[in-house]
Amino acid sequence: MGLDKTLAQKSRFSETPKTELDLPPDYCHYRDDGCEFADSCLNCPLPECIYAQPGGKQRWLKGLRDEAVLRLFTAQGKGVKELALMFGVSRRTIQRILQRDRDESTPKIKIFRGPDE
């Protein structure tokens, strides 16, 4: 009985498993439909896919909006209320954009005091 049991186990494991071929990308046919920014991922002008990071598209679009707000505020002298109406956001959002730009453009100076002071 021991031999029959061993043969049964051996024949069960000696069958070749049914697996799919793992083909390299050159031989794979996949749909590269791109997105609203490029016709295909391989021809995308962006350095990194905006969908690769969480909130990527929304963050990118907000960055473009912020640049436009700053450009209109500085170059054309538009007011906060006018910018808020143009972009469909609150006045507070425009104020935050302007404040963020002021904070980033102001050099950070830290004064280190000695142990005696």
- Could you tell me if residue 55 is inside a domain? yes
pLDDT of residue 43 exceeding 80: yes
- Quote the domain boundaries for residue 57: 51-105
pLDDT band at residue 10 using 50, 70 and 90 as cut-offs = low
- Could you tell me if residue 73 is inside a domain? yes
Better-predicted residue by pLDDT, 69 or 40: 69
- Could you tell me if residue 92 is inside a domain? yes
Q: How confident is the model over 8-21, as a mean pLDDT? A: 58
- Could you tell me if residue 19 is inside a domain? no
Confidence (pTM): 0.56
Assign 60 to helix, strand or coil: helix
Better-predicted residue by pLDDT, 97 or 4: 97
Q: How confident is the model over 85-109, as a mean pLDDT? A: 88
Largest Cα–Cα separation, the chain: 95
- Could you tell me if residue 91 is inside a domain? yes
- Could you tell me if residue 20 is inside a domain? no
- Could you tell me if residue 4 is inside a domain? no
Alpha-carbon distance of 69 to 94, in angstroms, equals: 8
pLDDT given at position 89 = 95
Count of domains in the chain? 1
- Could you tell me if residue 71 is inside a domain? yes
pLDDT given at position 110 = 62
User: Hey, what are 49's tokens?
Assistant: 């896919």
Q: How confident is the model over 24-50, as a mean pLDDT? A: 78
